[in-house]
Chain A
Amino acid sequence: MSSNNRTLPRILQTPAVVLLLIWMLVPLSMTLYFSFIRYVLNNTRRPEWTTPSPSNWRGFGNYEYVLNAKDFWFAIQNSVFIVTSILIITVVLGLGIAVLVNRKFPGRGIVRVLLISPFFVMPAVNAVLWINMILDPVLGLNGLAVAGINSVVDGLRDFPVLGWFFNLWPVLEPISFRATQTSAYAVIMMVAWQWTPFAVLIFMTSLQSEDESQKEAATLDGASPWSQFINLTVPHLARPIAIVVMIQSIFHLSLYAEIEIVSRGSGNKNLPYLIGEFTNNNIGAASATGIFAVILANIIAIFLLRMVGKSLMD
Chain B
Amino acid sequence: MHAARNIALCTKDCLCLFICPTGATDTENGQIDFAKCLDGCRLCVDACPSHALYLVFDRYPVKPDKDVAVVSALDNLLESKAKQELIGAALAHEGNGGAKLAKAIAHSDRVLAEDCAREARYMLPQSNQTRKLLTELLGRRGDPGFPVEAIEQLLELLH
Q: Do A and B bind each other?
A: no
Q: A: which residues have CB within 8 A of B?
A: none
